[in-house]
A and B are shown apart, each in its own frame.
Chain A
Amino acid sequence: METNIDEKEVKLTAKDFKSDRDVRWCPGCGDYSILAQVQRTFPNIGYKKEDIVWVSGIGCSSRFPYYMDTYGFHGIHGRAPAIATGLKVARPELSVWVATGDGDLMSIGGNHFIHTCRKNIDIKIVMFNNQIYGLTKGQYSPTSEKGKITKSTPFGSVDYPFNPASLALGAEASFVARSIDREPKHMQEMIMRAAEHKGTAFIEIYQNCNIFNDGAFTTLTDKETKADSVITLENKKPMIFGKDNNKGIIIEGFNPVVVDLNDGKHSVDDLLVHEETDESPIRSFILAHMTDHPGMPTPIGVFKQITKPTYDGGVAKQIKNVTEKKGEGTLKDLLYTPNTWEVS
């Protein structure tokens, strides 16, 4: 869909996107950072305030629309992608965003999520993943690690977590990315990239719940450990990480392996080069599953971005084509079809 944006009119700042409501998340919650990065990015996404809508489900993350001075819809548990889909199909010219959490999207809303991805509805889904149920006060979530001890699993959970990026890729999402609440610049970049993408964009954001799951991502955010634990995906660049940029990733068989660039055996030329637009699912799945292997860093960045027609665009196109062929329907056309007869 084309958007008719008069660049001169859109001179907004982060402040323009702050609603007059008090933010009611717990002090220290990672959600504050997400809100701030969205508000900083939104003046630049190319849409007027009135053309942006935030839709959410239920949970701490889903209070998000109240704090954005755009149109907003606080829906019911798990259904935000479906509500957003109806809105986007009805009004393709709008920029439609979903704020959701790991419980809202991966559990009760799982079905809507995968079908939104499959259909490539042009909406942006930002999932705050704190790996816990916060608003219901601390049960394990579908992204909690196996063995998690919570109020509902006092002896440890016995089920396996979803890998959200892998799930999105499996459902054929056309844009899949990940960021972390403590990486503001990176998160802003991911939000911008999602905004620019045509089609379903999924961003998973690791978000610390300092009340019920504090420190879940410490290794990824702590100054001492993060360089060796996180690898930032950059398109067309070899996969390098580590405190001294001394580590790289190569592929052996279908498995990623960390190599030491200073061991005299490996050079940058041996490393896997990231290709976001690779149509093959293999590369992005390897990245999404990298953390299955002990000692591997956690990737952040864009796992995959491919271009394909959107569902909402397809619907609009069919309507246009049929209307061009048959002419705009009138009430007379509707009722007085050829199979009528007269009684006089």
Chain B
Amino acid sequence: MAQEKEKEVEVQSLTAVTVRFAGDSGDGMQLTGTQFSDTTAIVGNDLSTLPDYPAEIRAPAGTLYGVSGFQLHFSSSDIHTPGDSPDVLVAMNPAALKINLKEIKKNATIIVNTDAFDKKNLNTAGYEANPLEDNSLEGFKVIEVPITTLTTNALKDSPLSPKEVVRCKNFFALGMMYWLYNRPMEPTLDWIKQKFKNLPDVADANEKALKAGYYFGDATQQFTTRYTVEPAELPEGTYRNISGNEAVALGFVAASLKSKLPLFLGSYPITPASDILHFLSKYKNFGVKTYQAEDEIAGIASAIGASFGGSLAITTTSGPGLALKTEATGLAVMTELPIVIVDVQRGGPSTGLPTKTEQSDLLQAMYGRNGESPVCIVAATRPNDCFEMAFEASKLALKFMTPVILLTDGYIANGAEPWKLPKPEELEEIPVRFHTDKETFQPYGRDENLARPWAIPGTPGLEHRIGGLEKANITGDVNYSPENHQLMCELRAEKIEKMKKFIPDLEVDGDESGDLLVLGWGGTYGAIIEAINKSRAEGLKVSQAHLKYLNPMPANTEKVLKNFKKVLIPELNLGQLSKLVREKFLINVETLNKLQGLPFKSIEIQNKISEILGGKNGN
């Protein structure tokens, strides 16, 4: 063995880095990315993540369509997106390199697992020549590491099978990246210990692989620079790293505690919403009942039954599931029972792009039912906002006795970022009163908000029948009279409109009037904010507003929009909010539509702003 000499390491401080881990769908890239994110959160950086994986669980090895990626943007300042283009790509095989090459920065660092660049993998990825040897990577800083060999060497004493040993290579890569970006190994070591406590050999192997990667970074002459990213200056408080799906789950449990109603979830597994079911099924000691139903319809139908019984009842799904819940949603509208329907939107139509993000269910949420069937629709803007919006959706459903649809999307559902935890005592109470008085009980009587009383089974003397047939106003008897039907349709619509009194005004960031307002909704928030910041840095005057309440929209929406000469609506669909805004306020809007299964890059929005205002394009 050659004598190793102490190497010189330069430490360079960066303000922000975007890293992308990419490999086969069985390579453990999501795990690697999540671990890197959690550790990065703990050291105090602001961060935003973008998991991007195929619908196949274990696609054939080495194929382009089997590449799974995890992008992470971390910074010493406030950030809003997972980054437009990675500075660093970790490519575990040729396919991962090929797929991601066009995405990364021109001078990016590429760390490749050279062991995977054999003839078979190169062929499968469609490479005629080895890109590591034909100068096609000129301009990039390529660091070649035989990750598989080094992992195997490190684990030569492991009792695990050769196949299992090779599987530990993602921890080697993670260890290497920890060294490179000056992150501690402890959080991941603790995680390994906990996760594999019943598989000591696996725990031991993963730990060794992680450390081997870290020490390799320390020893190899290939790495001469180490990077630090200082903690971000975030507002004071206690933080945790959170994904949108987990935040949704927590929001509902919090709403259950604050309303003092038991939480019931009826749900059928569907990508990318299943994690909400997984998270909620853990909270048994919070009295949460999760019912994995036989299908999407039973998911919502059971929630309606639980709501009739007095629970805070919810159902969770994604686009195709929302389609299946259509008729039952109408039943909840007609019976005026509170339920929250979460739609984690994904690429459609039909099965579409199950693991990819989109915002194309807005009109389905708005209009996708028979008859005049208005529901409240709210949307979350980013992973940590999902908590607030799940809480808010519950509050509105209970206050107004109505179904509420909460729209999130695959991007914010799976993406993660630090979340400043609310103080338990700061969360508002959600007052709920079941009707118990026989004398004053009218099943379809209404309060000042037009909400009907909630009288649940078990209440003596209030036995009554409700259902999907049209109800007589006040008494709730079945009634087919023409005048009553018109009245009831109008009342149900008016009830939703009344919510305007309780939802916050639309806020404008920037001047209250001017040439251009960028109006967004839901999960595009981060990309829009970054685009706005960059545009302003270029000297452009542009204002921004973001809708979290889609039906009804805030009371001042029309006023806000009409103060601008132009309104630009960027959305991940073919113009659904644009359609609503044009129809509602009779104004024209500029559109920016993307349907690629991916979130906006801020540059795409920035360029559009520039185009409208006559500025220069960024790149």
Min CB distance, A199 to chain B, in Å?
17
Is the beta-carbon distance between B298 and A322 smaller than 8 angstroms? Answer: no
**A52 → B minimal CB distance (Å):** 8
Contact B458 A94 (CB under 8 A): yes
Task: Flag B101-140 by CB within 8 Å of A: 1 or 0 each.
Answer: 0000000000000000000000000000000000000000
Residue A330 at the B interface, CB < 8 A? Answer: yes
**Docked complex Cα distance between A71 and B236 (Å):** 52
CA distance A26 to B92 in the complex (A): 73
A313-343 with Cβ < 8 A to chain B = 315, 318-319, 321-323, 325-332, 334-337, 339-343
Interchain pairs with CB closer than 8 A, number: 205
> How far is A71 from B443 in the complex, measured between Cα atoms in Å?
12
Q: Is B302 an interface residue (CB 8 A)?
A: yes
Query: Which residue from B264, B287, B463 sits with its C-beta under 8 Å from A86?
Result: B264
| Contact in complex: B240, A82 (CB < 8 Å) | no
Q: Which of B253, B257, B464 contacts A71 (CB 8 A)?
A: B464
Residues of chain A within 8 A (CB-CB) of B240 are 335, 337, 339-341
B-side contacts of A76, CB under 8 Å:
301, 327-328, 331, 468
The segment from A62-70, A243-251, A265-273 found at the interface with B is A62-70
Nearest B residue (CB) for A67: B465
The residue among A52, A115, A322, A341 with the most chain B CB atoms within 10 A of its own CB is: A341
Query: CB of A72 within 8 A of chain B?
Result: yes
Interface size, chain B (Cβ < 8 Å):
69
User: Which residues does chain A contribute within 8 Å of B424, judged by CB atoms?
Assistant: 330-332, 335
Q: Which residues in A have their C-beta under 8 angstroms from that of B458?
A: 50-51, 91, 93-94
Cβ of A49 within 8 Å of any chain B Cβ, yes or no, is yes
| Set of chain B residues within 8 Å of A325, measured between Cβ atoms | 285
The interface residues of chain A lying within 8 Å CB-to-CB of B266 are 86
**B285 with A328: CB separation less than 8 A:** yes
Contact A70 B463 (CB under 8 A): yes
Count residues of A near B (Cβ-Cβ below 8 Å).
61
Contact B294 A343 (CB under 8 A): no
Decide: B295 and A86 in contact? CB cutoff 8 A.
no
Minimal Cβ-Cβ distance residue in A for B425: A331
Given contacts A49-B463, A73-B466, A76-B327, contact A82 B310 (CB under 8 A): no
CB of A55 closer than 8 Å to a CB of B = yes
**Is A83 a contact of B302 with CB atoms below 8 Å?**
yes
In the complex, whether A75 has a CB less than 8 A from a CB of chain B is yes
User: Given the complex, which residues of A lie within 8 Å of B539, measured CB to CB?
Assistant: none
Q: Is the CB of A341 within 8 A of B294?
A: no
- Chain A: CB-nearest residue to B468: A76
Q: Check if B59 is an interface residue, CB within 8 A of chain A.
A: no
- Bound Cα distance from A322 to B283, whole angstroms: 9
Complex CA–CA separation, A58 to B250 (angstroms): 37
Q: B467 near A74 (CB under 8 angstroms)?
A: yes
Q: Please give, as numbers and ranges, the residues of chain B lying within 8 Å of A71 by CB-CB distance.
A: 457, 463-465
Asked whether B308 is an interface residue with its Cβ less than 8 Å from the other chain, the reply is yes
B55 contacts the other chain (Cβ, under 8 Å)?
no
What is the chain A residue whose CB lies nearest that of B232?
A343
Partner among A50, A88, A112, A337 whose Cβ is within 8 Å of the Cβ of B459: A50
Task: Give the residue name and chain of the B residue nearest to A344 (CB).
Answer: B236
Say whether B41 faces chain A, with CB atoms less than 8 Å apart: yes
Which residues of chain A from 70 to 127 have any CB-CB distance to chain B below 8 Å in the complex?
70-76, 79, 82-91, 93-94, 111-112, 115
CA distance A237 to B440 in the complex (A): 55
Partner-B contacts on A (CB < 8 A) = 19, 21, 48-53, 55-56, 58, 65-66, 69-76, 79, 82-91, 93-94, 111-112, 115, 315, 318-319, 321-323, 325-332, 334-337, 339-344
Starting from the known contacts A329-B253, A343-B420, 19 additional A-B residue pairs (CB-CB under 8 Å) come to A72-B465, A72-B467, A73-B466, A73-B467, A74-B466, A75-B467, A76-B331, A82-B297, A86-B266, A86-B303, A86-B309, A86-B313, A89-B302, A321-B284, A335-B421, A336-B238, A337-B240, A339-B38, A340-B240
Instruction: List 8 contacting pairs A-B, 8 Å CB cutoff, sorted by A.
Output: A85-B291, A91-B310, A111-B295, A334-B254, A335-B240, A337-B240, A340-B239, A343-B44
Which B residues have a C-beta under 8 Å from some C-beta of A?
38, 41-42, 44, 231, 234-241, 250, 253-254, 257-258, 262, 264, 266, 283-287, 289, 291, 293-295, 297-298, 301-311, 313, 327-328, 331, 335, 420-422, 424, 427, 457-469, 477-478
List the 10 closest A-B pairs by CB distance, nearest first.
A74-B467, A86-B302, A86-B305, A72-B465, A82-B301, A87-B305, A322-B284, A90-B306, A329-B286, A82-B298
